[in-house]
Structure 1
Amino acid sequence: MKTTNKTKGGRKVKSNPKKYRHVFRLTESENQRLLTLFASSGMTNKASFLVSMLLDRQVKTVKIDVAALQYQSTLTKLFNQFRAVGVNYNQMVKLCNQYFSENRAKRSISKLEEYTKDLSKLCYYIIKLTKEFEDKHLNPKL
C-alpha cells in the first residue's frame, strides 16, 4: 500500500473568520450621506468602513481645502521674497557705506528706510488678511 502526502489546495483557513452577515436597507438620501461619509473617510473597503462606524471605532475624515493650499503656497513664496529683500537690504547698506560718501550714503539709506516702512505696512496687512482667512476658513465655528 502506497501512502501519499498530498496537501489540500485552496485558501488558508483564517484564525478568526467573519461568518456573521447583517443586511439593512437605506433610502436614497441615507445612501448618499453614507457614500459621502465613506468617500471622505479615505477608506478603500466599504465593509470595514461600516464595521468601524457601527462599533464606534474612530474614523478619520480628511478634507483638503484647495483654496487654503493655494493661499499657503502663495504665502510661502511671499515669505521667500521677504527673505530675499532682507538679504538685498543688508548688501545695499554695506555697499552704500563702502562706496558712497557719508552724505550720499545717508540719503540712500533714508530712502531705503522709507521703502522698508512701506514693506512693513504691507507685511502687517498680509498678517491681518491671513488671520481673517484662518478664522473664516480654517477654524470655522460650529
Structure 2
Amino acid sequence: MQTTIKTKGGRKLKSNPKKYRHVFRLTESENERLLALFASSGMTNKASFLVSMLLDREVKTVKVDVAALQYHATLTKLFNQFRAIGVNYNQMVKLCNQYFSENRVKRSILKLEEYTKDLSKLCYYIIKLTKEFEQRYLNANP
C-alpha cells in the first residue's frame, strides 16, 4: 500500500514574507516632492522605492537631458543628409560623364568641388561644436 501526502493548493509560501505594515500621512508639498523623487528614480513599485529610501539602500535616479536628446536627433538627421548628398554627388558625376561634353563636365565638377569644400568646412565646424557640447554637458567628469 502506498501512502500519498495531501497538500493544500495555492501559492507557495515565501521564505521571508512581508507582514508588517506602516502608514503615514504627507502634506501636499511633501507628497509632490515624494512623487517627483519616485518618478526620477525609475522604479516601478512605490512600496519598494519607499523601503529603499527608509532603509538607506542605494536608490538610482535617472535624469533625462532633453536638450541632449534633441541635439542627438538633429545630429542624426544631419548625418543622414550628408549621406544623401554623397549619393547625389556620385550620381551627378556619373550623369555628367554620360551626357555632357568634356568642357562642361570640367565646369560642373569644379562647381561641385567648391560646394564640397564648403560642406567640408561646415562638417568640421559641426564636429568641433559636437566635441564642445559633449565635454561641457554630457561628460560631467572629464
- The answer to whether structure 1 residue 131 and structure 2 residue 131 are counterparts is yes
Number of aligned residue pairs: 132
Measure the CA separation in 2 of the matches of 1:42 and 1:14.
29
- The answer to whether structure 1 residue 76 and structure 2 residue 79 are counterparts is no
Over 3 Å counting, the alpha-carbon distance change for 1:33 and 1:136 in structure 2 is farther
- Give ranges in structure 2 of 5+ residues lacking alignment: 1-7
Normalising by structure 1, what TM-score? 0.73
Deviation of the 1:40 alpha carbon:
1.0
Measure the CA separation in 2 of the matches of 1:138 and 1:110.
40
Measure the CA separation in 1 of the matches of 2:49 and 2:30.
15
Q: Higher relative contact order at CA 8 Å, sep ≥6: structure 1 or structure 2?
A: 1
Write the mapping of 1:21-36 to structure 2, written as runs, cut at 5 A: 36=36
Deviation of the 1:78 alpha carbon:
0.8
Which residue identity lines up with residue 81 of structure 2 in the other structure? Q
Query: Alignment identity in percent?
Result: 82
Give the aligned partner of residue 63 of structure 2: 63
Write the mapping of 1:67-106 to structure 2, written as runs, cut at 5 A: 67-106=67-106
- CA RMSD of the aligned region, Å? 3.1
Give the aligned partner of residue 41 of structure 1: 41
Measure the CA separation in 2 of the matches of 1:124 and 1:103.
32
- Give ranges in structure 1 of 5+ residues lacking alignment: 1-6
